[in-house]
Amino acid sequence: MPLVVYSAQGYDSKVTAAFQAATGIPVRLDDDSTGPLLTKVAAERNNPQWGLLWVDGDTAFAALDKQGQLLDYAPPVPLNDAGKALVPTDHSYVPVSTTVMAALIYNGAKTSAVPSSYQDLLSNQYKGLVGMNDPSQSGPTYPFIAGLMNQFGGQAHGVAAGEDYLTKLKANGLHVFPTNGDTLHALETGQIEYGLIQSSAATGEAAKATKSASYDPKIVYLPKSTLLPGVIGIDKAAPPAEQSEAKKFVQYVLSPAGQHVMQVSDPTGDSLYWPVSPGIDPVSVLPPFPNNYQKINPYFWGPLEGQVNSFFDTNIK
């Protein structure tokens, strides 16, 4: 039977094809944005059709683990310090890369104002100029919002503090777009001058953009960016044979061969991650890993995703 992979990674078709060629294990890939994939996983809870889930953000996996849907697995491969910090104590999912959320990308051709904190974005100087993604569509965006909540109020008061901040940001003219690509398009076309998006998408835009008198994308990381791992989880309800195939897939992804395919297959997008495998250097266009980042507790924030996204859909979009 084929290994069924649900994935939102820009390099997933190349990686699954390379894995199949290397191992002879057939793979059926269902590629979509993270939000729709997680909705599909939830709808299939009583009859899962996936064997392996691969998306950005560990909050969704923590929630799935709490529901008893993930197979505990610790691959026999080393991780660097950043990778080790992201491994859950029960080994219910595996970090295989990391980005941060959010990078603030802005059009340096139209503005010289650079905020130094998220609070700055509430000032009149940025009114109507800021855009971000919709957490119901963009998987990286809920961890970003959870990171804001964690930063502003911690686990005790973060939800209320974060809702208050987002409400003020909306009152200051916040624009909401479905995903990274849509927010970047709005930046390119002048609908906004600042975008809060995933670091890989921002880095890719700055690297590929043709700079002009009207468009010159630049990036800054506001304190604190939230660590956003690329994560793989294995379906606990999958047949044993498919679980075995999924374990081999995880090992392949973390191997030098798998990492190479990941790094060359989406050069202006998801390939722009910081590796968690020792001895693997990031793509050269990447800046040094931001030092003003935080790691949030996915087991606290993951189960709150539905509540927070519902608030966002009702009050912010």
Burial label for 310, CB within 10 Å (0-12, 13-18, 19+), is: exposed
DSSP string covering the chain: -PEEEEE--TTHHHHHHHHHHHH---EEEEE--HHHHHHHHHHTTTS---SEEEEE-SHHHHHHHHTT-B-----SS---HHHHHHS-TT--SEEEEEEEEEEEEEETTT-----SSTGGGGSGGGTT-EEEE-TTT-TTHHHHHHHHHHHHHHHHHHHHHHHHHHHHHHHTT-EEESSHHHHHHHHHTTS-SEEEEEHHHHHHHHHH----SS--EEEE--S-EEEEEEEEEEBTTS-HHHHHHHHHHHHHHHSHHHHHHHHHHSTTTTT--B--STT-PPPTTSPPPPSSEE---HHHHGGGHHHHHHHHHHHT-
**pTM score, whole prediction:** 0.90
Q: Which of 265, 282, 244 is nearest to 15 (CA)?
A: 265
How high is the pLDDT of residue 81? Answer: 87
Domain boundaries, the chain: 3-98+228-291, 100-225+301-315
pLDDT at 287: 87
For position 291, what pLDDT does the model report?
Answer: 79
- Check for a shared fold between 3-98+228-291 and 100-225+301-315: yes
Map tokens 């890993």 to a residue.
Answer: 289
Q: 231 with 57: CB under 8 angstroms?
A: yes
CATH of domain 3-98+228-291: 3.40.190.10
Q: Under CATH, which number does the domain 100-225+301-315 receive?
A: 3.40.190.10
Judge whether 245 and 25 are in contact, CB under 8 Å. yes
User: For residue 293, what pLDDT is reported?
Assistant: 86
For residue 219, the cross-strand partners are 105
List average pLDDT for each run of 10 residues in the chain, which is 317 residues long.
96 98 98 92 96 95 96 96 93 97 96 96 98 92 96 97 98 97 97 97 93 94 93 98 98 98 96 95 90 91 94 97
Distance CA 60, CA 309 (A): 13
